[in-house]
Structure 1
Amino acid sequence: MTVLGGCGAWPGAGQACSGYLVEDEGFRVLIDPGYATLPRLLALMGAADVDAVLVTHGHPDHCSDLNPLLRARALADDPAPPLPVHAPPGALDAVMALDKPRMLAAALTIHDLRPGRPCELGPSTELVSLAKDADLLLAEATYPERVPEEDAPYLSSARDAGRTAASAGAARLLLTHLWPDTPAEPALAAAAASYPGALSVATAGLTVDLA
């Protein structure tokens, strides 16, 4: 897995928002092509080399660069085949509205993801079972200790991520989606309070070998 960016909300100077490239036996999946991730992706491979895209939700810091990725594929001299894009229903409506529908219609095939039961506050208890014995848990950690009440249904903290990783027995925890231009130390300390394993923050260009 290669981190293309890890900023939450907007990209800091010289950085990018959420974006992760997962490669396995030659198959390349782009997860959450947020703001400023495409130039970093193109430094590694061509736009046509992406095999599939997974978008977790429709916030622009997680999906905005899907538009230029599709443009790069559709407007090439030799257009790439339709790109499978997996996303929750409606999550791509805004980013797909950036161009005329016919312009990018042949560039992708959208597959709706059907999320499970919603959770009102904090991380879902299902995260522990999903992450059980994972080699790597990549976890959103916008705030170090406490998520403000108005953001609690949507965001989590580094402390939450540490607890989840510890309960799941994850071998390594990678914190991402920190506020731009904020130091990593408070998030690392908050996660380490409950998680004793290998711990780091997602920074652009970081590559993690999961073999």
Structure 2
Amino acid sequence: MGEAGSRLTVLGSCGAWPEPGRACAGFLLSHHGFRVVLDLGFGAAPRLFTHCRGGLPDAVVVTHEHPDHCADVSALGRAWHYTVQAASPAARLPLHCTPGTVRRLEAMEPRPHPATLFEVHDLAEPSAAEPADAEPSATQPCDVGPFRLTSYALPHHQPNFGVRLTAPGLTVAYTGDTGPSPRLAELGRDADLFICDATLRTPPPEGEPRYLMTAAEAGHWAEKAGARRLLLTHFWPGTDRAAAAGEARAEFGGEVLVAEEDLTIAL
């Protein structure tokens, strides 16, 4: 169980594009006053600013470059430039992401360039424990405020890294977008909260490449990981979320939560 004051707030719960009144992927993780954003897709920035009244977040993590996960990082960059950097021009906001994410941000707003707004860290930095010629699984851990961040390469249409953030007494894991993978069991191992992709209503035909999951598959991998709680997210617009939760509960023995905008979960 996390220590008092630890919480996760849902900024956006949709995949691809936001349903009316909702937003795409985004979460705000707060621990002992430190605030880190996990993804910031279409429409998530206004909710971030609502929940960060009195200041901006301390760090950002973006799992991959699809715009439903990173488009509103551009809005956050503008807010940083015109507020924080107006007072401290050299200040940069830590951003842990893929190189493709930076290229997307640059295409949206080349001036000021993302490198002048953000202190960029590559999520794909390989772990020293990995053989040099091996496909990376876990990457080199790094510190993000009070958290130790480890990222895991997961199957998706673009390079995607699930992230595991651990602090004394608290572990939160987040898949980003992913197909089924044995690495999910490692990513979510004993997590207090495992935030999982649940995009698909039904699995694709047998033999097709897998880049997204169903809610039932999210439940399966949360059970394999031994996670304490599962938060389903990245719903395709129009998904019956109550039905998705039921499918996950059939596979997972812990508590199943459904991401809803502005939902705050005590950790």
- Fold-level match, TM-score > 0.5? yes
**From 155, 160, 167, the counterpart of 2:224:** 167
User: TM-score if structure 2 supplies the norm length?
Assistant: 0.72
For 2:266, the equivalent position in structure 1 comes to 209
For the residue of structure 2 that corresponds to 1:10, the secondary structure is coil
Match of 1:2 in 2: 9
Distance of 2:236 and 2:185 partners within structure 1: 25
Q: Does 1:141 align with 2:198?
A: yes
- After superposition, the CA RMSD in angstroms is 2.3
1:83 aligns with 2:93: yes
Give the distance between the partners of 2:108 and 2:263, measured in 1 at CA: 30
Quote how far apart the aligned CAs of 1:22 are: 0.5
Larger mean CA deviation between 8-17 and 151-160 belongs to 151-160
Superposition pairs of residues 149-160 of structure 1, within 5 angstroms: 152-160=209-217
1:188 aligns with 2:245: yes
Comparing both structures, which one devotes a greater share of its residues to strand?
Answer: 2
Displacement after TM superposition at 1:173 (Å): 0.8
Aligned 8 A contact 2:16 2:24 in 1 = yes
Query: Are the structure 2 counterparts of residues 29 and 119 from structure 1 closer, same or farther at C-alpha, using a change threshold of 3 Å?
Result: closer
Q: What corresponds to 1:72 in structure 2?
A: 79
The size of the alignment, in residue pairs, is: 210
Provide the rounded CA distance (Å) in 2 between the counterparts of 1:12 and 1:168. Answer: 31
The aligned amino acid for 1:108 is F
* Structure 1 gap ranges (5+): none
Aligned to 1:42: 49
Task: Tell me which of the two structures has the higher relative contact order, counting C-alpha pairs closer than 8 angstroms and 6 or more residues apart.
Answer: 1
Name the residue aligned to 2:61. Answer: 54
Identity of aligned residues (%): 42
Alignment-derived partner of residue 108 in structure 1: 118
Change (3 A) 1:120 1:48: closer
Q: Secondary structure at the residue paired with 1:31? A: strand
Q: CA deviation at 1:130?
A: 2.1
After the TM superposition, which of the residue ranges 172-181 and 83-92 deviates more from structure 2?
A: 83-92
2:198 and 2:233 in contact (8 A); partners too: yes
Q: Do the aligned partners of 1:66 and 1:95 also contact (CA within 8 Å) in 2? A: yes
Instruction: Tell me: CA distance 1:152–1:7, structure 2 relative to 1, closer, same or farther (3 Å).
Output: farther
Give, as a single letter, the amino acid of the residue that structure 1 aligns with 2:106. M
Greater mean alpha carbon deviation, residues 63-72 or residues 83-92? 83-92
- Contact in 2 for aligned 1:131/1:168 (Cα 8 Å): yes
The CA distance in 1 between the partners of 2:109 and 2:193, in whole Å, is 37
Moved more, 93-102 or 141-150: 141-150
Distance 1:9 1:40, change over 3 A: same
Shift of 1:150: 9.8
| Distance change in 2, residues 1:98/1:79 (3 Å) | farther
Residue 89 of structure 1: CA displacement? 2.5
Corresponding letter in the other structure for 2:116: A
Which stretch shifts more, 147-156 or 20-29?
147-156
Task: Tell me if structure 2 keeps the 8 A contact 1:176–1:202.
Answer: yes
Structure 1 residues 79 and 63: alpha-carbon distance in aligned structure 2, compared to 1, 3 A threshold: farther
Say which structure is richer in helix. Answer: 1
| AA aligned opposite 1:137 | F
Secondary structure of the residue aligned to 1:91 is helix
Mapped partners of 2:235, 2:15: distance in 1: 5
